[in-house]
Amino acid sequence: MLKEIRKIHRQRIVRVNRARAKVIATSDRPRLVLHRSNKFIYAQIVTVTGQVLATASSRQLAGKTPVERAHQVGAALAVAAKAKGVDKVAFDRRGYKYHGQVQALAEGAREGGLSF
């Protein structure tokens, strides 16, 4: 069982690194990073130096489905980013497939005014 967990963890690390290699963040285009847990979804906008500019999570949002909550998180993150003067971001999906909650978060952020 422990070997299986380690193998799954290694595979996840490989996916994360593969996805991050394609994301090019610059000083005028910070990364939009997301994390999914079993219950919630979290998103941050991080500069090249690692400074967090804006955050949003589904912990304080109420929605019927996880996809709806992810869409709200994207919209809330876009509002917070606009307040900090960020219009363009590089979307770092952290190895998650681009469907479901990840896609909903991206669409919510785009509707809120972020471009990536």
Domain ranges for the chain: 2-111
pTM: 0.86
Residue type, 84: K
Where in 15-62 does DSSP place strands (E)?
31-36, 41-46, 52-57
Q: How many CA atoms lie within 13 A of 63 on its CB side?
A: 19
Q: Which has the closest alpha carbon to 36: 61, 63, 8, 67?
A: 67
**CATH number listed for the domain at residues 2-111:** 3.30.420.100
Q: How many CA atoms lie within 13 A of 101 on its CB side?
A: 22
| pLDDT digits 0-9 by tens, 65-114 | 999 999 999 999 999 999 999 999 999 998 899 999 999 999 999 999 99
